[in-house]
Amino acid sequence: MPKPRPLIAGNWKMNGLSADGWALADEIVRQAGEGTGPELLVCPPFTLIGLIAEALANSPVGLGGQDCHGDDAGAHTGDISAPMLADLGCRYVIVGHSERRTDHGDSSARVRAKAAAAQRAGLAAIVCVGETWAEREAGRTAEIVGGQVAESIPPGSTAANLVVAYEPVWAIGSGRTATVEQIAEVHALIRRQLGGQVGPGSEAVRILYGGSVKPANAREILAIANVDGALVGGASLKSADFLAIAAASPPG
C-alpha cells in the first residue's frame, strides 16, 4: 500500500505577535508553491489564528490550533473549544503535546476527550505521544507509548480525523534527536497498535515524528518506514527551515 501524503505541521507554540506572525505565514504561502508536495499546516497561538487564517486564505497551507477543551462550550475560563477553532477555519488541532501533559496535567483520558471533541467539530486531531528519558532508560518506551496510544485515541477514529505524532519528550527542544533505529522501532509499534484500535484503513493514518526535526536531519527521518511527516517546533518559526523540511519529504 502506498504511503499517505506526508504532513508537515508547524507548531509555533507561544511565539509570535501580529506583525511577525503575519510575515511568517505570508512567507510560507509565497514560497509553498501550488501544494503538490507534502501537506503543509501551521498551528499558531490562539491570539493569531484569525489573522493567520486571512494570511493563508486561498492557499494550500492549512491552519490548526495547539489545543482545545473536551467540551463544546461552557464555563471554562481561558479555554478554547474545538467548534471555536473550526469557526475560525482550522482543520486540525494538536492534543496531548508533552508540554500540555507536563505543564497542565493533561492525562491520556483528557487527551482522548479533547480528540473526540475535535472530531465532533469536524477537525482532525493530532494526538501526541512520547516517553521521557527516564522512562526510556528504564526500558519502558513500549509500555508508555503503547499506553498513551491506547488511552488517548477515541473510538471510531479514522485516517480522515486522526494523526498520531511520536515526540520523545527527551528530544523536544533539546537538540538531541532519536536515532533512525529508535524512531523506526516506536513508529512500527504505533502502526501495529493502530491496526488493532482503528482497524481497516489504519495504514492510512499518518504518524508524524516530532523531536527536534531540522533541515539537516529531515531527509533521513522522513525516509524511515511509518514516518508520514513531521511535527516541527522551533524550525517552524523560520519559513526557510520549515519549507526545507517539507522539501525533504518523499512523495506520498
Strand partners, 232: 10
**Residue 137 catalytic?**
no
Given the residues 69, 99, 167, 187, select the one marked as catalytic: 167
Q: Is 81:117 a contact under the CB 8 Å cutoff?
A: yes
Given the residues 39, 69, 97, 131, select the one marked as catalytic: 97
Integer CA distances (angstroms), 17 to 14, 22, 25, 47, in order? 10, 8, 12, 8
**Residue 99 catalytic?**
no
Closest CA to 7 of 31, 53, 57, 43: 43
Closest CA to 131 of 92, 170, 75: 170
Other CB atoms within a 10 A radius of the CB of residue 200 amount to 8
Catalytic residue annotation: 97, 167
